[in-house]
Amino acid sequence: MLTAEQYLNPDVVRQVQRLDLRAKFIVEGFLAGLHDSPYRGFSLEFSEHRRYAPGDDPRNLDWTVWAKTDRLFVRTYQAETSLAAYLVVDTSRSMAYGGPAGAMTKREYATALAAALGYLLVHQGDAVGLGLVGDGLARFLRPRGGRRQLARVLAELTRTEGAGRTDLAAGLHTLARRVRRRSLMLVISDLIDEPELVLGAIRRLAVRGHDVVVFQVLDAAERNLDFSGPVILEDPETGQRVETDADGIRDGYRQRLEETVAAYERGVRELGGDFVSMTTATAFDKALRKFLHERKRRF
């Protein structure tokens, strides 16, 4: 029998072929690992509860939760907790990159993460929408609740192939124009784009009242330049090639990359958003915990 930790391991998840089952697999593993939680032993009903506060109607107390946790929680109604969220997924050609054979590509990791987030949203009574971004906004679904909407979102994610050049900023600007209702924007991208342009687009979203959480997904080999000796590095979007010595440029490459990641994180946080950088080897619970933290902050 698999442990909760194994359910969240990208290498294990990749063995599951269907995206809907990947999403369920990840979420169930995540919930099983929520040890310090009043929702221990529950499935997805945890979204229907919040801590008791003075002034709450005692009739809404959930005594079953109290018996399990020795803490007071009240039941809430969907109108009290529902939100509109967009899964904004980078579908550019650079997302098709994968390191060692058998490992998840960035696109596979991003779509599995988006599917899991969508699964959580829908089962909490939230409305989920979708924005697929390559060299602009390629596909757009307005948020709706329910399993049919989740099926639509997963069908669109399944069809993503990782093609086209990156213009994440253009896609985010289009979203800012089209989305008027205050929403939670969950952006999943490798962020291989000009930070100033992307942060400018995120600023526009923030000014319009949207909350933004950015999940940067990089390949582990890409993050660390895990190669040795002479190598040919190719830009997946332009086809441009550079011959170099990996050992000779590794320190400079890593420093430049870390500076770029730090610039993104600093910029997103200054705009009131949240940022987390991961690799395709990172367990999925890191991103899901960040999502739940952001959702809790809003209510």
Greatest mean pLDDT among 115-119, 131-135, 218-222, 286-290: 115-119
Report the chain's terminal Cα–Cα distance, integer Å. 36
Among the listed ranges 34-38, 186-190, 224-228, which one has the minimum average pLDDT value?
A: 34-38
Q: Exposed, middle or buried, 70 (CB in 10 Å: 0-12/13-18/19+)?
A: exposed
Long-range contact pairs involving 287-292 (C-beta distance under 8 Å, separation at least 24):
287/113, 287/117, 287/215, 288/26, 288/27, 288/30, 288/116, 288/117, 288/120, 290/213, 290/215, 291/117, 291/120, 291/186, 291/213, 292/120
Q: Give the whole-number percent of the chain exceeding pLDDT 90.
A: 45
d(CA 143, CA 121): 11
**Highest mean pLDDT pick, 74-88, 93-107, 110-124:** 110-124
Give helix then strand counts, H and E, for the chain.
12, 10
Q: If DSSP codes are grouped into helix, strand and coil, which group holds residue 215?
A: strand
**Tens-digit pLDDT profile for residues 142-170:** 999 998 999 999 999 998 776 667 789 99
Structure tokens at 192: 């291989």
- For residue 21, give the nearest of 146, 143, 120, 112 by alpha carbon: 112
In this predicted structure, the answer to whether residue 77 has a pLDDT above a threshold of 80 is no
Q: Give the best-scoring range by mean pLDDT among 50-54, 135-139, 152-156.
A: 152-156
- 19-32 and 147-158 helices, crossing angle to 10°: 120
Tokens of 229: 């000796």
Domain ranges of the chain: 82-298
Check pLDDT > 50 for residue 79.
no
**Least confident among 10-19, 37-46, 98-107:** 37-46
Q: How far apart are CA 109 and CA 162, in angstroms?
A: 12
Distance CA 268, CA 158 (A): 28
The partner residues of 242 in beta bridges, in order of sequence, read 233
Q: Name the band, by pLDDT with cuts 50, 70 and 90, for residue 86.
A: very high
The matching CATH number, chosen from 3.30.420.40, 3.40.190.80, 3.40.50.410, 1.10.420.10, for 82-298 is 3.40.50.410
Handedness of CA 79, 24, 26, 89 (dihedral sign): negative
Residue 211 pLDDT exceeds 50 = yes
What pLDDT, on a 0 to 100 scale, did the predictor assign at position 34? 64
Q: Angle at CA 151, nearest 5°, toward 80 and 123?
A: 30
Q: pTM score, two decimals?
A: 0.82
Of 108, 114, 111, nearest to 129 (Cα)? 114
The 10s digit of each residue's pLDDT in 18-28 is 999 999 889 88
pLDDT of residue 290: 82
Q: Maximum CA pair distance of the chain?
A: 70
Which range is least confidently modeled, 31-45, 74-88, 144-158? Answer: 31-45
Mean predicted lDDT score pLDDT of the chain? 84
Of 45-49, 68-72, 130-134, 178-182, the range with the lowest mean pLDDT is: 45-49
What pLDDT, in 10s, does the model give residues 240-260? 788 888 888 889 989 999 999
